[in-house]
Amino acid sequence: RGVSQSLGHHVVNDSLRDWVLHNRDEDDSFESTPYDVAITGDYNIGGDAWSSRVLMEEIGLRVIAQWSGDGSMP
């Protein structure tokens, strides 16, 4: 089976589900709104992920998470 971008997306999605979301804190103080969005998978070429976030907030969306292609976890 050859290498594909889609396969890479599946590997990352499965890893996030299994290792990040599964191991989250049990803090239930977060209050969601109908305007919550999470930005995932932006490659942040030239810092465009930051300007995308600003634009979303300016139109009234609440960015609750941002994970760019150049991101990492400790």
5-64 tens-digit pLDDT:
778 778 878 887 888 776 667 777 889 999 999 887 777 777 888 888 999 999 999 999
pLDDT of residue 2: 58
Beta bridge partners of 36: 62
pLDDT of residue 3: 66
DSSP track, 7-67: HHHHHHHHHIIIIIITT----------TTEEEEEEE--GGGHHHHHHHHHHHTT-EEEEEE
pTM of the model: 0.61
pLDDT of residue 24: 67
pLDDT of residue 58: 97
Compute the Cα dihedral for 29, 34, 40, 45 and give only its sign: negative
